[in-house]
Amino acid sequence: MKHLKRIISLLIVMIIVFGMAIAGSADTTPKGSITVNDKGTSGNYAGYLIMYSTNSREDTSRFAYTANDKYIDIIYSTIKNVSVAEAEMLESDVKHEQILRYLENVELNDNDMRSFADKLYRNIRNAGLEPDETFIGEKKTETTQGYWLIADVTDLDGALNNSNSVIIIDTVGVEDIEVKVKKSIPTVVNKVAETNDSAQRTDYVSTYDEPQWQDGADYDITDEMWFKVTGTVAENISSYETYFYSFHVQMTNMTFVDNSVKVFIDGKNYTNRFTVEWNEQEKKLKVFVDDLFSIRDMNDKVVVNADSKIVLKYKATLDETAVTGSDGNPNVAYLEYSNDPYDSESTGNTSSDTVIVFTYKIIVNKVIGAKASDDEPESPDTVETFDPIETGDNITPYGKRLNGAGFTLYKMNALGVYEPVGEEKRGGSIFEFYGIDAGTYKLVESTVPDGFNKSDDIEFVVVSVYDVESEYSQLRALYALDKNNKNITLSENVQKGVFIADLNDGSLMTYVKNYSGTNMPSTGGMGTVLIYILGAVLFIGSLILLVIKLRKKSSEKQ
């Protein structure tokens, strides 16, 4: 019986202790979990519990905020714009009341909240205070409910498409909360101008000044080409104290044209505020400013804002080393920018944007034309029967190769006048005009081999098709038209053509025939010809009269 009383007494004590534990738990700050969603980057985040929440014992759905003593002086100095020392002189209740009034009664827009969060985090960092919690992106962390300041502390120096920022989140009343991190990253768009030298323009100047900006273009070697790179800035640029900004361009088979750079911010020219660096050996162009905020207008106001667009324009020439055909010559641009508002030395890069410049070549094969009686076909039946490789017998599908000729290629300019493309090509039987673009051309045999007649001039239009809007422009087609816009490029659909195209090589190949024999020259004009004809008529007439007279005399004698 004594043992039973002792057991009952022990149970009663345990129930009382357990009840006290339950009652005590009603006064504690509620728990919950926080998951930072940063789209799988698994970054590092520091959490600062700037305000606790406490539940009511009678109604756990009711709660109140209490400023964390660890940060109360810093919070107060941030909202009142006073020093921490001045904040420390006030009573805790006064500071707490004013903090709550600021956060509860003042209507803060996104910019105000961002500014408050930035200033608060800077002050916490300057004070050297350790975070209350650390988070890893995509990982659920059990912690205390309250008013949290969460800062991205990932080391992003040199990172691609990333940036650091801070957010304030209220987790009170939510057991499990997901914090979505919004990365504020600049963007870059790279374009190349497309111009047609042979185009007939009614408004030549304005057309040149405002070209068509594309992801692909074609040019002659040595042509000057305009490029345009458009960049944006971080949406939270106001969170930064300084903002480094740089355009980087990697060229292939191109050379930067000195003093051609122009930089515009929201349409206004600020070229003189940017530094230009060109590395000829590496073919790299860098145009940058150490701090965008240092660029101000006449009223000493910072010209850049979250909606600003910064445009770089410059010229480059296509080098003699340019690649013809489908591979093209890439021009790659990206931005380097400040990516951590709280570390002025940290910079990151955007993804690159590529444009392609194509160029082509004309290949001329000189052969001896066959006689009409040989009944030689004008062209092979299909592409497969065409063999551009010279055989040991110097024989091609069009006949035997012929040395001693010379060719000059002319291109029509915008005024409709043919101009020579470089110098005459002489020597051998194969002539290559390397590095041309689309346009209207004329091929002239400017030197004729001895013992042969001059071949007819060939007027033709080079037509190319490539992607004008694409992540990476591709060459889709290359062919030639005659003056009547008829396709004269050998293909499955064109059985008898003047040219044979190789898309990969970017070439249009043709055979030009010379025929033996000499056309005897004559002198004099049409008048001389008429005299010859009249003389012949008179001579024949005289003969007729002579015959008539002789017959008459013969008949009289008889």
Find the CATH number of the domain harbouring 488.
2.60.40.10
What average pLDDT does range 18-31 have in this prediction?
47
Q: Predicted confidence band at 371 (pLDDT cuts at 50, 70, 90)? A: low
Q: Is residue 3 part of a domain?
A: no
Question: What's residue 104's pLDDT?
Answer: 72
What is the DSSP secondary structure assignment for residue 495, as one 8-state letter?
S
Residue 203 has what pLDDT? 38
Residue 551 reports pLDDT greater than 80? no
Does residue 232 lie in a domain region?
A: yes
> Are 386 and 272 members of one domain?
no
Return the closest-CA partner of residue 508 out of 524, 528, 494.
Answer: 494
Residue 253: which region, alpha, beta or left (left: phi > 0; alpha: psi -120 to 50)? Answer: left
Can you give the residue range of the structural domain that contains 203?
A: 188-357
Question: If you average pLDDT over residues 519-523, what whole number do you get?
Answer: 44
Q: Mark whether 350 and 366 lie in a shared domain.
A: no
DSSP 186-223: --EEEEEEE--TT---SSHHHHHHS-EEESEEE--TT-
Q: What is the reported pLDDT for 161?
A: 87
Query: Quick one: pLDDT band at residue 23, thresholds 50, 70, 90?
Result: very low
Of 21-25, 463-467, 489-493, minimum mean pLDDT range: 21-25
CATH of the domain at 340: 2.60.40.740
State how far the Cα of 509 lies from the Cα of 361, in Å rounded to an integer: 8
Distance of CA 189 to the CA centre of its chain: 5
One domain, residues 72 and 173: yes
User: Does 53 reside within a domain?
Assistant: yes
99 and 218 share a domain? no
pTM over 0.85: no
The alpha carbon of residue 88 and the mean position of all alpha carbons in its chain are separated, in whole angstroms, by 55
Instruction: Report if residue 523 sits inside a domain.
Output: no
**What average pLDDT does the segment 387-401 reach?**
62
On whether residue 146 sits in a domain, the answer given is: yes
Q: Measure the CA–CA gap between 237 and 219, rounded to whole angstroms.
A: 39
Question: Looking at the structure, do residues 346 and 365 belong to the same domain, yes or no?
Answer: no
Could you tell me the pLDDT band of residue 393, with boundaries at 50, 70 and 90? Answer: low
Lowest-confidence region among 43-52, 112-121, 347-356: 112-121
Contacts of 447 (CB under 8 A, 6+ apart): 404, 405, 406, 407, 424, 426
Residue pointed to by tokens 């939510």: 174
Contact between 170 and 63 under an 8 Å Cβ cutoff? The reply is: no
User: Which of 164, 180, 196 marks a domain boundary?
Assistant: 180
pLDDT for 527 equals 39
pLDDT > 70? residue 389: no
In sequence order, what are the residues at sequence separation of 6 or more whose Cβ sits closer than 8 angstroms to the Cβ of residue 155? 346
Q: Is the predicted pLDDT of residue 405 greater than 70, yes or no?
A: yes
* Confidence check: pLDDT of 24 > 50: no
Indicate whether 539 pLDDT > 90. Answer: no
Per-residue confidence (pLDDT) for residue 549, from 0 to 100: 61
What is the C-alpha separation between 503 and 228, in angstroms, rounded? Answer: 28
* pLDDT band for position 202 (cuts 50, 70, 90): very low
Residue-wise pLDDT tens digits, 65-114: 888 999 999 999 998 888 888 888 888 888 888 888 887 765 666 677 88
Could you report the per-residue pLDDT of 231-263, keeping only the tens digit for each?
Answer: 999 999 999 999 999 999 999 999 999 999 999
My answer on whether 209 and 230 are in the same domain is yes
Q: Quick one: CA torsion of 540, 546, 552, 554, rounded to 10 degrees? A: -120
Residue 200 has pLDDT above 90, yes or no: no
Chain-centroid distance, C-alpha 48: 41
Query: In this structure, is residue 490 part of a structural domain?
Result: yes
Question: Is residue 133 a part of any domain in this protein?
Answer: yes
505 burial (CB, 10 Å; 0-12 / 13-18 / 19+) is middle
256 shares its domain with 225? yes
Of 382 and 169, the one with more pLDDT: 169
pLDDT, position 301: 95
Selected residue with higher pLDDT from 421 and 30: 421
Residue 186 to residues 309, 332, 349, 412, 511: CA-CA distances in angstroms?
10, 17, 9, 43, 53
Work out the average pLDDT over 497-506.
92
Residue recorded with tokens 């209490």: 66
- Does residue 431 have a pLDDT over 50? yes
Of 180, 208, 226, the residue that ends a domain is: 180
75: DSSP letter: H
Whether 450 maps to a domain, the answer reads yes
Q: Look at residue 352 and tell me whether its pLDDT is greater than 70.
A: yes
* Cα–Cα distance measured from residue 252 to residue 331, given in angstroms and rounded to the nearest whole number: 6
In this structure, the answer to whether residues 302 and 350 fall within a common structural domain is yes
DSSP 384: G
475/346 same-domain check: no
The mean pLDDT of 41-65, rounded to a whole number, is: 75
Report d(CA 288, CA 248) in Å as an integer. Answer: 9
Of 119, 149, 180, the residue at which a domain comes to its end is 180
What percentage of the chain exceeds 90 in pLDDT?
53
CB of 336 closer than 8 Å to CB of 351: no
- Do residues 159 and 234 share a domain? no
User: What is the DSSP secondary structure assignment for residue 401, as one 8-state letter?
Assistant: B
Number of folded domains in the chain? 4
Task: Tell whether 372 and 462 lie within a shared domain.
Answer: yes
99, 17: one domain: yes
